[in-house]
Amino acid sequence: MTNRTGRHFLQIPGPTNTPLPILAAIAKPTIDHRGPEFAKLGLEVLTGIRTIFKTSGPVIIYPASGTGAWEAALVNTLSPGDRVLMFETGWFATLWNKMAKRLGIEAEFIKGDWRSGVNADAIEARLAEDKAHTIKAVAVVHNETSTGATSNIAAVRRAIDNAGHPALLLVDTISSLGSIDYRHEEWGVDVTVGGSQKGLMLPPGLSFNAISDKAVAAAKKAKLPRSFWDWEDMLAINEKGFFPYTPSTNLLQGLSVAIQMLHEEGLDNVFARHDRAAEATRRCVHHWGLEIQCQNPQEYSSSLTAVRLPEGYSADGLRAEILTRCNMSLGNGLGPLADRVFRIGHLGDFHDLMVTGVLSGVEMGLRVCGIPHQSGGVEVAMNYLSGNARATAQAAE
């Protein structure tokens, strides 16, 4: 049977489900990207997106995936042969490291275990050794999508300051922006990289660089080749609401609605909703007797949960069975975690019933595949959610 009945559950850690109001905005007729109507839209989203990053400074919007914004962060701030210090939290930190090397940057990678976040003490120690300040930037991932571990960015900032080091701080917040509290300005981040397809609830296609004054100053001296990604042309024309090349006009229409929806719910409420879903999921997984990939509870991600299967059992086989039976997509294991881990996304546009429905599908799959587990995990999740329900009356007012 090729036709799968019922609603498809897209429960990967991004792209996430796109709400109908955002889809409706994207589906509006394309407007003139050099006309006054677009100028109003441009100023609206360029100003509004700052509130999501929690910054008063500029946020540059690219018609690209998050990978493009990674590259923009590097080429605008660094020169050939510059040294950047990175930390191996998982697959996406590894890819960013590989990109830096391909661009001619000396990327120094502090080894990690793929089960925890950034070790700020290790960064401080390495920077303290760098008396000549050869390290020009520290680049880390806030929420490692491959492992479900969230790093303490404020601690990384303190590590740089404690070492008395002038390095820039670059942070990837692609899978945490709009779902986990993030504070670009308060945490002293110089470049924050974001993407549209996760907590912002949009399809893929927009990416972001939130930049500090220090980053702008560094860009004036940086020597890596750049044209499409160059901040200077962007900053100049963004002041009038326009872009130096044809932007993703319809996605920007959707972004305007996404920002509005996040503020209508209230960012604190958005983060609390994600926290609750994540905790319910983890309690369910623990009841099943399965292991969570992230080992430090203080670093558990509120965007996703990566679950390890016992030796000898296939995570990809489980995912395939769940897709066939339940029409539900789960995230696969990446790199060394391939076929060992499956990932449950709980970010973006969702509610309690969707969370329990996802967990029901996973428990059914575990049973069908004969994977050892203790049944009743969904009941544990329901008990937690029903005992910690948000008051909805105020939200409805």
CA 223 to chain centre: 28
Annotated binding-site residue? 340: no
Parallel, antiparallel or unpaired: strands 191-195 and 168-172: parallel
Element at 257 (helix H, strand E)? helix 249-265
311 pairs with which residues across the strands? none
Q: Is the peptide bond before 166 cis (omega within 30 degrees of 0)?
A: no
14 touches 197 (CB < 8 A): yes
**Closest among 186, 189, 112 to 144, alpha carbons compared:** 112
Beta strand extents in the chain (DSSP E only): 9-11, 59-62, 83-87, 106-110, 135-141, 143-144, 149-150, 168-172, 191-195, 207-211, 291-292, 304-308, 328-332, 341-345
What whole-number distance in Å separates Cα of residue 145 and Cα of residue 305? 9
What whole-number distance in Å separates Cα of residue 310 and Cα of residue 312? 6
Tokens for 250? Answer: 């319809």
Residue ranges of the binding site: 343
Known binding-site positions for substrate: 343
